[in-house]
Amino acid sequence: MIAWRWRQFGAWVTLALAAVAAVLIALRPDPYDALRRADARFAAGQYRAALAAYTELATTLSDAALRRGIVLTVRGEVDPARRALVAAIKAGLRPRDYQLAVLYLGRVAAIEGDIATARQTWQSLAHCDPDRCAQRDLLLADDDLRNGRIEAALAVYRAVALDALPDDWAGFVIGRRAMVAALFDSAAIPDLTIPATSFPPDPFAHPLLPPAPDPATLAAVFAAEPAARPQLLGQLALDLGYDRLALAFLAQVDPAGPHGVAAAIYRAYAHLRLGDRQQGLEQLEQLAAAHPDDPRIGPLLALAYLNGGDLAAAGERLQQLRAAGHGGPALALAQAGLALAQRDFVAAADAYEQAVIAAPVAERARYALLAARFHLDSGFERCTSGLQAAQAAANVLADDPEALTVLAGTRYYCGDAAGAQAAAAAALAAGAGVEARFYYGLALNATGDRANGRAALEQVADQAPASMWRQRAETALELIGGR
């Protein structure tokens, strides 16, 4: 009887210990729960919070180490990103995650300008899931397009299987295919409809997408007359950074047509951006000789010399223009650019003022805004001439986000935090970007609303992760204790 009771007691103890162990296991923090929460922050664009969480988890989870490398890449921190991605690969990743890590290692090399290493890295991914292979091919095709291998890129855009891609990547292919194909048939009207795919969205692959035009902008270009499309597509390619594609489009513009001179100017600009300075300058010189009364070309030529570091040639060209009786706001802006290059802020301020005076009445607010931007960015006479110009521009351009942003920044740095907050709020309501939000956060903090000020600065860092605004916002957060 006693033995039976002892056996029963021992069973109860065993059950109790098992129950306690089960409770402890259930209550033990699951690192994958924390990873999922961090993933949700990443998908929502909360990169700072996601980075902090991934950093904490990276020592125990290779998945977190990979995601940390992805966030660092998004933020443009290439050296830490590379180390994190390599560490994740060494720690061991599932095949699909390994493929993503290789794609990001190629992106890091591309950000650094090492295109040969980027291509080699992407090409090393010989065996991959269908979507990862398609993304690899599209990244290689993007490099082909940047470097003038247009037909090779188009072949990829036409061959890739859209049903093997998430919606965002499928939409990119549709737009890119239509844009590049227009080089060979500018009269065709492409179908820009994005087909529905059954592939789940992948927020971690989304940052790898190359730059693409807004679908509405692309649709508007194809709605224009066929004769205007090469010019419009060339400008769009320039805006996106595809200078060789732009040259191909602009070469199709009729030089005797209404867009001929503008296309020639853009071609010269594209050559200058590609580093072919001599050809760009020669084209502008020919244009200046052929169109001596065009008010755009002379100042552009002077600025081209200026951007190439030839201040003497820029000054000589401006002097020739003035001697020939040319004037106007464009010439004054070129003179301001030369003065800035010479670090002569007094002369630059005077040139901006002359640009405002020389502008047509209907355009003076725009030139006042340029003057205000100069004063805000340089700090020269910011709270005198700069504040007057910013207020004058905002008075006329009352709903313009840029004018309101410059006014907000000028007011903040001139000690008017409440006025800066009001202007920044108006700018954001008008559709302004991260610069306005930056001033809004600073102004909120200065007026005592530190919680909302920190929140606004954190939004700046997340919305422009690879920009100087992220760096400035994080510096401000450190100073006010926001980290």
* 259 residue type, one letter: H
Q: What per-residue confidence (pLDDT) applies to 8?
A: 53
Which domains, from first to last, does the chain contain?
A: 33-181 (1.25.40.10), 217-271 (no CATH), 393-483 (1.25.40)
User: How large is the angle between the packed helices 329-341 and 311-323, nearest 10 degrees?
Assistant: 150
Rounded to whole angstroms, the Cα distance separating 420 from 405 reads 9
Dihedral (C-alpha) 86, 92, 94, 99: value to the nearest 10 degrees?
20
Q: What per-residue confidence (pLDDT) applies to 23?
A: 36
Rounded to whole angstroms, the Cα distance separating 113 from 424 reads 36
Q: Tens-digit pLDDT profile for the chain (483 aa)?
A: 445 444 554 444 444 444 434 333 333 456 689 999 999 999 999 999 999 999 999 999 999 999 999 999 999 999 999 999 999 999 999 999 999 999 999 999 999 999 999 999 999 999 999 999 999 999 999 999 999 999 999 999 999 999 889 999 999 999 999 999 999 998 888 989 888 777 888 999 999 999 999 999 999 999 999 889 999 999 999 999 999 999 999 999 999 999 999 999 999 999 999 999 999 999 999 999 999 888 889 999 999 999 999 999 999 999 999 988 888 999 999 999 999 999 999 999 999 999 999 999 999 999 999 999 999 999 999 999 999 999 999 999 999 999 999 999 999 999 999 999 999 999 999 999 999 999 999 999 999 999 999 999 999 999 999 999 999 999 999 998 855
Rounded to whole angstroms, the Cα distance separating 452 from 445 reads 8
Residues with Cβ within 8 Å of residue 7, at least 6 apart in sequence: none
Local structure of 464: helix, strand or coil: coil
Residues with Cβ within 8 Å of residue 341, at least 6 apart in sequence: 306, 311, 314
Is residue 198 a contact partner of residue 217, using CB atoms and an 8 Å limit? no
Question: Could you tell me the pTM of the whole model?
Answer: 0.89
Q: What per-residue confidence (pLDDT) applies to 29?
A: 54
Distance of CA 458 to the CA centre of its chain: 18
Q: What per-residue confidence (pLDDT) applies to 161?
A: 92
Angle among Cα 338, 343, 344 to the nearest 5 degrees reads: 75
Going from the C-alpha of 176 to that of each of 144, 182, 244, the distances in angstroms are: 13, 10, 15
Q: What per-residue confidence (pLDDT) applies to 469?
A: 97
Rounded to whole angstroms, the Cα distance separating 320 from 450 reads 55
